[in-house]
Amino acid sequence: MSEDKSSGEIRRGHVKWFDPGKGFGFVVADEGGPDILLHANVLRNFGQSSVADGAEIELVVHQTERGLQAAEVLDIQVSEAVIGGGLSDFAEMSAEELAAAPMQPARVKWFDKVKGFGFANIFGVEDDVFVHIEVLRRSGLADLLPGEAIGIKTVEGTRGLMATEVLPWEAGLHLAGDD
């Protein structure tokens, strides 16, 4: 364990699994030891409602009578292993084209993790935006909740507007200001 932050210890590790429906998941610390409980409220305080399995994470951890528990999320990085394969819909587009799309404020209409897709609505745009689970994984997220505010980048695909990147609302606002 490393330095103290507000009477907790800072640990780095990776997300073993996180289930937004259950409201919790577990993190495996780089230095080993017991799994660290990551509650949805702690993740929400960081500005996210979910996190992808395998994502690298830095936490402030407290020892409780029930074991190690995350008290604060300091950083989340999506590893190349999590990013994985691409979508055939974006195969013809360059990374520069995808990155050049503006970040826009949106709200999740619905998302079904089992089906692997859902839809969002950009403020002021009538058409729905298709959101594929692989785009979420590449963005470091595992799930979206209906009504959740997000930042979204889109392209016009063969089936209409498609998300190329989805970020938590706060991160989306920050990037939209940079454009």
The pLDDT tens digits for 139-166 are 888 889 999 999 999 988 777 888 988 9
> What per-residue confidence (pLDDT) applies to 6?
53
How far apart are alpha carbons 51 and 58 in whole angstroms? 13
Range of the domain at 29: 4-77
Amino acid at residue number 152: I
Model pTM?
Answer: 0.56
Q: Helices H, strands E: what count in the chain?
A: 5, 11
Are 72 and 107 in a shared domain?
Answer: no
Per-residue pLDDT of 117-135, as tens digits, reads 899 999 998 899 999 888 8
- Which of 38, 55, 77 is at the close of a domain? 77
Give me the mean pLDDT over the 58-71 stretch.
94
- Which of 77, 96, 116 is at the close of a domain? 77
Q: Which residues contact 53 (CB under 8 A, 6 or more apart)?
A: 15, 16, 17, 18, 82, 142
Give me the mean pLDDT over the 72-101 stretch.
67
Q: What is the CATH number of the domain that holds 128?
A: 2.40.50.140
Are 53 and 118 in a shared domain?
Answer: no
How many Cα neighbours within 13 Å face the side chain of 61? 26
